[in-house]
Amino acid sequence: MAPVGRPRSDASHAAILKATYELLREEGLARLTLDKVASRAGASRSTLYRWWPSRGAIAMEATLDMLNQELSLEPKSDNALAEFRRLLKSVARAMRGSTGPIMAGILAECQRDPETLRVFKENLVAPRRAEVVPLLERGIQDGSIRPGVAPHTILDLTFGAIYHQLLLHVPTDDAWMDGVIDILVNGIAAKPAA
Amino acid sequence: MAPVGRPRSDASHAAILKATYELLREEGLARLTLDKVASRAGASRSTLYRWWPSRGAIAMEATLDMLNQELSLEPKSDNALAEFRRLLKSVARAMRGSTGPIMAGILAECQRDPETLRVFKENLVAPRRAEVVPLLERGIQDGSIRPGVAPHTILDLTFGAIYHQLLLHVPTDDAWMDGVIDILVNGIAAKPAA
DNA sequence: GCATTACGACACGGTATGTCTCGTATTCAA
DNA sequence: TTGAATACGAGACATACCGTGTCGTAATGC
């Protein structure tokens, strides 16, 4: 049971993630090469390949580390719908910074590497949804959200809208996000009786 | 003014686009190389580079040719909102076939090549929106869509949702699309009086 | 000490890129 | 009919990155 041999170097691990993260901010995932990561981290490419299967995997780990710091769901409890609003705005705000292009790059990488997509869904999409879906279900029960809508579909729409702007490189602002939320909450159909 | 010298070969042009299109269906954009395109088309790589600046540009032209055949807005005229519904379903249906992965690949390519993104927005996104936005504005005027919503934001949401499923490789069906449209039309907020 | 594992440095073959040269083909104008 | 201009297919070339492998050395437990 006792691990034998020289242990993995935490310093090297940290240096690699740091170098990856810096390079992602500077040049984006598209121009990220393992050569650059290794040389900036003072590591060798062998070490990278020993611990990660692909470029996408390294970028993913570096990004998840960063995202999980940046985005934390603080569960204030008033109306569930109001809380959902706050959540969306915080996501949109995060994507407005240098995190946005990195996320777009990761989504792109997911298209060329199924394994990266799997990790992305498993370690980012699924956990986030697992937090938000109960919130929406609570909203249905407390009467702020109408019954009959599938929480997952709500999330497809909202994150879809944010991804859409990200991928098309359309900058977002609070007004845009307010418009999105308004449509999402109230719909676009004219009310029968105003 | 008269063009001098040997004219561009239409046969070669067509063969290249056909080869590109076939390879896109077979292997996707991620595995598309200009070598393969050239050899399948019986052309030389020189010819490809003479007429297109990048892999993305070739893939884009081939895809636009195909998309513009596949998707045609047939303007039946009843309620504008009903027409919008039909449009969305036809887009979702198109993305369900082999076109979906190709679109996802193009969106990915756009993240690594700004010029490809520019062409994509200019030749696909913008013209489509130019068709649909007036439809939505008509819906506002004929009373089926409530005033105050920005047509562009509606499209950000709807296409965002479709792209979202595409990029995360989540297959869609009619039920999902119905759910999306329901939320979009009616919103998620509980009606004050049911 | 000794087995075991991690490390950095480096080399190798493979693949795709973008640019270039070459000989040949096709068009128009003189 | 000749020549200038341009396109074509074939292929060479340097470059870049990839993924793997080898080496000598360093660090840990027994």
pLDDT (tens digit per residue) in A68-108: 877 766 666 678 888 999 999 999 999 999 999 999 999 99
Report yes or no: A162 and B162 within 8 Å, Cβ to Cβ.
no
The CA–C1' separation of A51 and D27, in angstroms, is 18
Residue B189, helix vs strand vs coil: strand
Average pLDDT value for chain A: 93
> Considering only residues 80-99 of protein chain A, which place a Cβ less than 7 A from any atom of strand C?
none
Supply the Cα-derived Rg of chain A in whole angstroms.
20
Report yes or no: A84 and A151 within 8 Å, Cβ to Cβ.
no
Residues 116-135 of B with CB under 8 A from A: 117, 121, 125
CA dist B148 and B150 (Å) reads 7
Report yes or no: A158 and A132 within 8 Å, Cβ to Cβ.
no
Closest CA to B88 of B128, B123, B140: B128
Give yes or no for CB of B130 within 7 Å of strand C.
Answer: no
Tell me the three-class secondary structure of A112-176, residue by residue. Answer: HCHHHHHHHHHHHHHHHHHHHHHHHHHHHHCCCECCCCCHHHHHHHHHHHHHHHHHCCCCCCHHH
Q: Sign of the CA dihedral B137, B143, B145, B147?
A: positive
CA dist B181 and B175 (Å) reads 10
Report yes or no: B71 and B91 within 8 Å, Cβ to Cβ.
yes
With an 8 Å Cβ cutoff, is B50 touching chain A? Answer: no
Give yes or no for CB of A6 within 7 Å of strand D.
Answer: yes
The CA–C1' separation of A4 and C6, in angstroms, is 11
List of residues 6+ apart from B116 with CB closer than 8 A: B54, B56, B57, B60, B106, B109, B110
Question: Which segments of chain B have a pLDDT < 70?
Answer: 1, 72-77, 192-194
pLDDT for position B193? 54
**One-letter identity of residue B163:** Y
Give yes or no for CB of A79 within 7 Å of strand C.
Answer: no
Provide the 10 A C-beta neighbour count for residue B50. 9
pLDDT for position B81? 87
List of residues 6+ apart from A62 with CB closer than 8 A: A17, A20, A21, A24
pLDDT for position A70? 75
pLDDT (tens digit per residue) in A125-171: 999 999 999 999 999 999 999 999 999 999 999 999 999 999 999 99
pLDDT for position B74? 67
pLDDT at A6 over 80: yes
Rounded mean pLDDT, A102-130: 96
Enter the tokens of residue B113. Answer: 């090549």
Domains of chain A: 55-186 (1.10.357.10)
Reported for A34-40, long-range contacts at CB under 8 A and 24+ positions apart, including other chains, are A34/A58
Enter the tokens of residue A147. Answer: 């019954």
With an 8 Å Cβ cutoff, is B137 touching chain A? Answer: no
pLDDT for position B79? 84
CA dist B36 and B181 (Å) reads 41
pLDDT (tens digit per residue) in B11-49: 999 999 999 999 999 999 999 999 999 999 999 999 999
Half-sphere exposure of B18 (CA within 13 A, CB side): 11
Percent of residues, chain A, with pLDDT higher than 70 = 95
pLDDT for position A106? 97
pLDDT for position A194? 47
The CA–C1' separation of B4 and C30, in angstroms, is 14
Percent of residues, chain A, with pLDDT higher than 90 = 84
Tell me if A183 and B179 make a contact (CB, 8 A cut-off): no
Enter the tokens of residue A30. Answer: 């598209």
